[in-house]
Amino acid sequence: MVLTLAIVLAFFVPWPWNVLVLGLGVVAEAGEIVWGRRLAKRWRPRTGAEAIVGLEAEVASACRPRGQVRVLGELWEATCEEGADAGDIVQVTQVDGLTLVVKPVKGRLDTSTVS
């Protein structure tokens, strides 16, 4: 982006200065590329199954200990050692293949029974 701006600006600047503008544009573009690559390494995208660890899910069919939960609109097989009934809210603790390991969320107010 910086280099494009320098090229356009070079058309409107007199002879010795347009070379300087282009040179500074090349240096700034190189700096922008280096900065962007360093920034991209820091922000690794989390995708797939590992992205849902820590999220809350709603139990679709009772997990005693195996059942199904709905996470981000997707239906997953799940195991819950403590047990959870349909409609309960659980938290995903780990992913084992295509099965989620979940635990019930403690201290959560059930808003479906509050009038």
Task: Read off the pLDDT of residues 54-94 as tens digits, 9 standing for 90 and up.
Answer: 999 999 999 999 999 999 999 999 999 999 999 999 999 99
Q: Does residue 75 contact residue 60 with C-beta atoms inside 8 Å?
A: yes
b/e per residue 57-75 (b: at least 16 CB within 10 A): bebbebbeeebbbebeeee
Sequence spans of domains, the chain: 2-42, 48-104
The domain defined by 48-104 folds into: OB fold (Dihydrolipoamide Acetyltransferase, E2P) (2.40.50)
Any idea which residue has 């910086």 for tokens? Answer: 2
Q: In angstroms, rounded to a whole number, what is the distance separating the alpha carbons of residues 107 and 86?
A: 18
Tokens of 110: 């059930």
Helices (H), 1-115: 2-10, 15-42
Tokens of 53: 């660890």
pLDDT tens-digit readout, 13-55 = 998 999 999 999 999 999 999 999 999 888 877 777 778 899 9
Q: pTM of this prediction?
A: 0.56
